[in-house]
Chain A
Amino acid sequence: MLGYLIRRVLAIFPVMLIVAIFVFLLLRLTPGDPAAIIAGDMATPEQLERIREAMGLNQPIHTQFITWMGRLLQGDLGVSLISGTPVTTMVYQRMFPTINIALLTILIAVAIAVPMGVLAAWRHRSWVDYAVMSFSVLGFSVPVFVIGYVFILVFSITFGWLPVQGYAAPAERGFDEFLYRAILPAFTLATIYIALIARMTRASMLEVLGEDYIRTARAKGVKESRVLFRHALRNAAVPILTVIGTGFALLISGVVVTESVFNIPGVGRLTVDAILARDYPVIQAMILITSGVYVMVNLIIDISYTIFDPRIRY
């Protein structure tokens, strides 16, 4: 197990190096000029060239890459070309809204989707099953921004129960205020996640509920709730965990849209703004960090298999 863990952690480095090279080259091949963004519409070609020179953008690509990698190895993600702010500061400022809302989303999604999926499997081919599956198809098919707007229309504009936009840091303005502002974006994001997890839970549970040991448990007179959650769900957990992990990618893409719709100053918006402005250091940092998080999430999921399924050993 320990050897496996070390191998997996070590494998992160070549993966990140490939991501770094790929992102760097891709960005340099994309049309766009951060100097033009900074200088504005009135700048003459001569002024643009001087700004490019001051920013080091006129150096050969391999020189820029070596400089960037050298700094990266020292833990320096660089400085935003547009605002001049250190990228680490920008990421630090923007990561907590995203992390907090993502955690809330996962909590909501798991709390709702797993019982939904279990219920659908338990009451297979009943109206409950059809209702859960219908919701699942709907939740998976409707774009996140549409769900966001509908929630705003209903809960903010029509009933006035929740705010339209904004984010409140829990430590600064209290957990109640955080929840008050985060509940709509979290539910918006959670919808697609609930759909995905509920479907997978149902499918996985259906497979397990047909197993001999479930019939045996029931024949022994074990309580149905214990059959479902103690015997069946634990054995159905591996695919569910996988989908929670891979669904993390959906969460990241959903965060970009949700942060725009609900005006949340998170890393999703930071990434989009950086791409629009061709702010290379910020884009590179965000893709590297996202890739790193993704690799780590997959690693954690793989390790958690051993906890849920004792047959799995590395």
Chain B
Amino acid sequence: MTIQNFRSKGASRVRGLLGGALLASTALVTAGAAFAETTITAVMHSGLRVLDPVITTAHITRNHAYMIYDVLVAVDDEFVPQPQMASWTVSDDGLVYTFTLRDGLKFHDGAPVTMADAEASLKRWAERDSGGQLIMDRTESLTATDDSTLVWTLTEPFGPLLDTIGKQSALPPFIMPARVAETPSDTAITEHIGSGPFTFAEANFQPGVSVTYLKNEEYVPRDEPASNMAGGKVVHVDKVVWSTMPDASTAINALLSDEIDYIESVQVDLLPLLEGDPDVVYEKREPLGYQTIGRMNFLHEPFDNKLVRQAALKALDQEAVLVAMMGNPEYYAVCGAIFGCGTPLADDAGSDTLTSGGDMEAAKALLEEAGYDGTPIVLMAPTDVISLSAQPVVAAQALRAAGFNVDMQPMDWQTLVTRRASQADPADGGWNIFFTNWLVPEIFNPLISPMLNGRGDNAWFGWPTDETIEELKVEFIAATTPEEQLDVAKRIQAHNMEEVLYIPLGQYVGPQARRADIVDLLPTPVPVFWNVKKE
């Protein structure tokens, strides 16, 4: 073979390789490129991978579910449950709830929504949701009596039933076709058909990369104006694309150069990059945001001792934690209420030291009284989640200043979630304290807050055994008026600060950013794409 021949063949080989790869890319061409005059391209806080909103509490999956599914009941701006798919009546004794489906609702495959679908969906949801389990413990029957009527009969009154099935996070009961909802609750569903305001473009879905939603032309919105998750879900755009960008700077640059329309959550330290561009707006999406918390392990020394837990609480200063987390005071607030400030059950009793700089002397005195012997406390510090990297560092320093012997162990979040499930001794692969964040609607009443579970080994990580908190929750369930519920909530607040089931470390909001032509975004804890317009 001459060199010329080789070169010629080599070149054609390269062209062939390139051409082959490019031709093969044609297989990625998906149907449906001809629609969508108005498209919103949004960068969400993480990539969508799990599509079943019952099997996971991941926020991105919940957000996905609000796009394609609908709910029977939804809360408005005042946290009051309002009819969404169904209206209801309650019997005088509070034992029978009768729900009536509104007309015109269809699944995306064209089948009409019936109450048999709602019954199956609620039953599957209740197997996974702690609030749902509490209702089912008091349920005599849950039956669709005809296509548009569902009767829920209880054995004893459950005051917050509508609040529980109307909650917006973490596991709202989304209504799916009965055949889908019959999937076991610990197995992920494989069919993604809802009756919500958008349809899921499954052919375009790339897990963790992008997901496309199309306007559901068949959807019949309610007549009322949108209010939080309630009211009319009127869609003004043809298509919404969620694109995942692993690099925060890339997302900012893409917004500045008009390649995307919206960023759900912007790191506060990147906001200066957006300043001065009249075509870009950044703002708080909603006032509540997140609560950041510290949780101790009740099974092992020293936090099995109430006095030591109280010492830790006294040592901590919310402001110091929040400054390290957010920097800009516009995006955080000290808040001693375990149910979150700005919520109906908010009360800040017992939090005065937390919200006013801590009380190191009291912490030292409590440690001495407890006879703390210098047992090292294993503090787990995730290094790969920005919103969780500051709390452990600030807390470790405060605890050391109070006299704790802190063994701060950096690790990735995946290692932390595995290790926190271990009940082993801290010196043997267990742990003593870690930190995490909750969306305020996930902790805003005692039935849904995971930390307020006192059932020992069946409780959330940390495993406190606390009969009093369980009794107080039963009282909360029996409370039928907002006033009665607030009274119980105040006693739960006081009990938490006394027993230190967990330490609330304040509230923060992550700002969102958008192109200026994206208007009328709803100020909801869950980012939604109805009501919004692209001008």
Contact = CB atoms under 8 A, between A and B. Distances in A.
B270 interface: no
B34 interface: no
Contacts of B457: 45
Contact of A166 (B21, B47, B259, B460): B259
A245 interface: no
A90 B436 CA distance: 31
Interface residues of A, number: 64
A277 to B, nearest CB: 7
B327 interface: no
B23 interface: yes
B91 interface: no
B436 to A, nearest CB: 6
B257 A42 contact: no
A100 B22 contact: yes
A234 B208 contact: no
Contact of B414 (A33, A170, A307): A33
B244 to A, nearest CB: 8
Interface string B233-275: 0000000000101110110011011010000000000000000
Contacts of A171: 22-23, 25-26, 28-29
Nearest to B55: A38
Contacts of A38: 50, 55-56, 58, 188
Contact of B246 (A32, A48, A269, A307): A269
Interface string B2-45: 01001000000010011001111111110001000000000000
Contacts of A46: 458
B209 interface: yes
Contacts of A273: 47, 49, 208, 246
Contact of B247 (A80, A92, A260): A260
Contacts of A82: 49-50, 207
A210 B338 CA distance: 80
B253 A276 contact: no
B210 A265 contact: yes
**Sorted from nearest, which 7 A-B pairs have the closest CB atoms?**
A40-B57, A171-B26, A83-B207, A32-B414, A31-B415, A265-B209, A50-B186
7 contacts: A31-B414, A42-B171, A80-B49, A85-B207, A100-B18, A164-B256, A276-B384
Interface of A: 31-33, 36-48, 50-51, 53-54, 80, 82-85, 90, 92-94, 96, 99-100, 103, 107, 149, 152, 156-157, 160, 163-166, 169-172, 175, 178, 230, 234, 260-263, 265, 269-270, 272-273, 276-278, 307
Interface of B: 1, 3, 6, 14, 17-18, 21-29, 33, 47, 49-51, 55-58, 128, 130, 170-171, 184, 186-188, 190, 206-210, 243, 245-247, 249-250, 253-254, 256-257, 259, 384, 411-412, 414-415, 417-419, 421, 436, 438, 442, 450, 457-461
Given A31-B414, A260-B250, A265-B210, 12 more contacts: A32-B414, A36-B421, A38-B50, A40-B57, A40-B170, A45-B457, A48-B421, A51-B186, A54-B187, A83-B51, A169-B25, A263-B250
